[in-house]
Amino acid sequence: MAAVFYEGRYAATPLVSPDFAVLASAYGLKSATITQRAEVLPMVRAAREHTGTVVIDFRVEQEDSVYPMVRRQ
């Protein structure tokens, strides 16, 4: 997959701080950090059922398949 996008030369910076879920909680918002695929659907369902703002921090591997992927022209 890396060959599809810039042959593995990434045009982004990994964000290691702040902890967005903790920051959102500090402001009284519902939040979660997702680190495994099995957690995605239950958390998205819970967020949709919640009446307020929800911040979800999705942690993915750099080489993971994240869709939709939009190729720059």
Please report, in tens digits, the pLDDT of each residue of the chain (73 residues total): 445 556 666 666 677 788 999 999 999 999 999 999 899 999 999 999 999 999 999 887 766 666 666 665 5
Residue with structure tokens 């890396």? Answer: 2
pTM of the model: 0.67
Please give the helix or strand (H or E) that residue 46 lies within, else none.
helix 37-49
Q: What angle do CA 13, 63, 6 make, to 5 degrees?
A: 70
Three-state DSSP class for 43? helix
